[in-house]
Structure 1
Amino acid sequence: MTTPHRRSLLALTAGALTLSACGAEVESSSGTRTVTVDRCGEPVEYTTPQRAVAYEGGSADKLFALGLTDHVHGYVMPPANPPVEESPWASEYAEVEFLSDDLLNRELVVDADADLVVAGWNSGFSDQRGITPEILDGLGIQSFMHTESCFNYPGFPEHVDPFEALFTDLERLGRIFGVEDRAAELVAEYRDRVETVRKNAPAGEPVPVFLYDSGTDQPFTAGNQVPPNEIIEFAGGRNVFAGLDARWTQVSWEAVVQAAPEVIIILDYGDQPAQEKIDFLESSPITSGLPAVVQDNYYVLDYNEGISGPRNIDGLEGFAEYLRTLER
């Protein structure tokens, strides 16, 4: 994936702006650009951020892919996220501040003097931890939520399929920062790559696939509201839990055994290596007889390829290549 040139995009956020046919854009007397963009179905007025804070790789990657590094103050990266040095945007991460490896919290955001926080609902934003869009609104700090995570967000539900949600986020962030052309370019490129994968998916009955996120007593897996569900489907597989109208969710090992997956995708966390999960599957008497385990059919999906972000496209292409070479 090619790293975009960032500096040339800054001019798009400056200068006089007129009303746009696709939404309200005005310029205040101070020259600040203002635009109204939906946030989980709620119209929100944004001014162009200069000190954005991103939570997790998916948030930062969206900003970096749009060429917005100069508008990013820093990032919060919990231990589950693999090292940023492995990112396609490693050089961009190096240009901004690493703020914390803790969960997102209000004090951190205030101390950073952030003017925008980008995160997901229940993945960054949280009622329990006291950092929600409403609370930040009251503090005068703007917020942007991943559209994919709006499935769980109370009050303004917006249900968009995961890959479409990624494209929606890029378009909305493009409007917030005034880089609509760059966003349109990216979305067109990503749509082409997805369509190429779908056209080349293996013929025949889709292979049953189980995504193993984490958990030993009961496994966490992907329902139909998160990117891996479509990664599996578009590549030519069938998520054995696609019938669950949920995001990341807990199931039983009995249900996994009954589904008899022929392939297991292992989500590779920074603090929960894939090999540890494979070792568990092979040693547990419950899972050691699964067709995928017996046949050693594992595919390791990077954490940032599984959460909403540009690397979903890389994850799709990698898994599609794996399925095309799989002997059944």
Structure 2
Amino acid sequence: MRSRVWGGTAAAVLGALLVTGCGGGAKEGTAPDSRGAAASGAHPVTVTDCAGATTTFAKAPARIVTSNAAGLELLLRLGAGNRVIGTGFPPGKGTLPGALDAQARKVPVLSRSVIPKEKLLGSGADLYLDTFAAMDAMGGGGMGGSPTEEEFKAAGIKHVYLKSTACAAQNKKPVTDLSAVEADITSLGAVTGTTARAKELVAGMRKKVDAVRKAVGSTSPSSRPTYFFFDYDAGTKQPTVVCNRQIANAVITLAGARNVFADCDGDFRQVGWEDVIAENPDWIQLGVRDRGGAAANEKAFDEAEHWLRTNPATKGLKAVKAGHFLRIGSERTTIAGVENADTVREIARTLHPGKVD
């Protein structure tokens, strides 16, 4: 794990923005026109990581590589999509809304998974937006490992993170709101010179979450349904659960539910099925990862549900017998993005019918 990783709290991110930029805006679900976005920013912009090291941008980056679809989507929504020259873990066709999908299709795919070290360093990027704390943890070790910060510097690449995801395990207290995600968007907007658009995105998220909070926020903890995020793709032999430092814990909490593993300090942890059985959740989210299309995603959801219904250890769970499943993808629940707010609303509508518009 790198020592030079951006921290996970909203205060750290917002406090690190010594100077912010400004930029244009567009309606949600569209691809904003980013021509001239770099010129509209107020630079230099300086940000700090959780170790206190600073990174300064004298001007908005012009050649950006993203580690996965989450960073790419945020840049597209901010109106900086025409500056993305490559990505790893690309979004599946049709998984992004409207014009964002068409724009994403134009971005060169440097890898279907982790971008190999030499390809990343030789990409010509001036900024690498990283969603992960360390690429080795995502299987990059067999591709030459993760570049060191010295190697990034030698290649002329500034290395920054989506802190709310990459540094979740370092949070000092449970995450129960989306302020760290909002801070990521604010920070990225300042760096790319699209601050005005970042403000619009954050305002839109807050509007959705505030509506849910108004509708179900007063529900007492004891009256809230219990909720289990089933990370099907992490393996079924031993379940990997989301703990209280992970964004998913905030999404679940804001939606008026109780994460059955909210007493687990950290981001993710492996437990035994006996632990899930002991919690006996009211609802289960089938958290499968994007397969690259609606039909493939539905097939994955079917497989996850079938496994729960037929496995001797889980078929007797309250949620399984009642058919209380939510088919919501992993990424929009566990990785920073505008759709975290949409997931809050979708869960709340299912668990509290008639209360949420």
Q: Shared fold (TM-score greater than 0.5)? A: yes
1:245, distance to aligned residue in structure 2 (A): 1.4
Distance 2:172 2:159 in 1: 16
Q: How many residues align?
A: 304
Runs (4 or more) in structure 1 with deviation over 6 Å come to: 157-160
Match of 1:36?
46
Q: What are the within-5 Å matches in structure 2 for residues 22-33 of structure 1? A: 25=43
Of residues 326, 333, 340 in structure 2, which corresponds to 1:312?
A: 340
TM-score by length of 2: 0.77
**Residue 28 of structure 2: aligned partner:** 2
Question: Does 2:187 align with 1:172?
Answer: yes
Among 138, 142, 157, the alignment partner of 1:141 is 157
TM-score, normalised via structure 1 length = 0.84
Matched, 1:213 2:213: no
CA contact under 8 A between 2:162 and 2:336: conserved in structure 1? yes
Where do 1:257-296 residues align within 5 Å?
A: 257-271=277-291, 273-296=300-323
**1:151-190 alignment to 2 at 5 Å?**
151-152=168-169, 161=175, 163-190=178-205
Cα RMSD (Å) of the superposition?
2.6
Please list every run of 5 or more consecutive structure 1 residues that lacks an aligned counterpart in the other structure.
18-24, 26-33
Alignment partner of 1:63 is 2:75: yes
CA–CA distance in 1 between the matches of 2:65 and 2:82?
12
Q: Which runs of 5+ in 2 are unaligned?
A: 1-26, 292-296
Check if 1:101 corresponds to 2:117. no
Deviation at 1:38, TM superposition (A): 2.5
State the 1:3 CA deviation: 3.1
Whether the aligned pair in 2 keeps the contact of 1:211 and 1:266 (CA below 8 Å) is: yes
Give the distance between the partners of 1:75 and 1:241, measured in 2 at CA. Answer: 33
Distance 1:310 1:160, change over 3 A: farther
Q: 1:321 and 1:176, CA in 2 relative to 1: closer, same or farther beyond 3 A?
A: same
Higher relative contact order (CA 8 A, sep 6+): 2
Q: SS in structure 1 opposite 2:276?
A: helix
Distance 1:150 1:305, change over 3 A: same
Checking the alignment, whether the CA contact within 8 Å between 1:4 and 1:66 is kept in structure 2 is no
Cα distance change on mapping 1:168 and 1:290 into 2, 3 Å: same
Deviations 1:11-34 (A, max 9, x none): 3422795xxxxxxx4xxxxxxxx3
Distance 1:233 1:98 in 2: 35
Which stretch has the larger CA shift, 163-172 or 94-103?
94-103
User: Secondary structure of the equivalent of 2:129?
Assistant: strand
Deviation at 1:264, TM superposition (A): 0.4
Percentage of identical aligned residues: 27
CA distance in 2, matches of 1:118, 1:211: 27
What amino acid is the match of 1:275? D
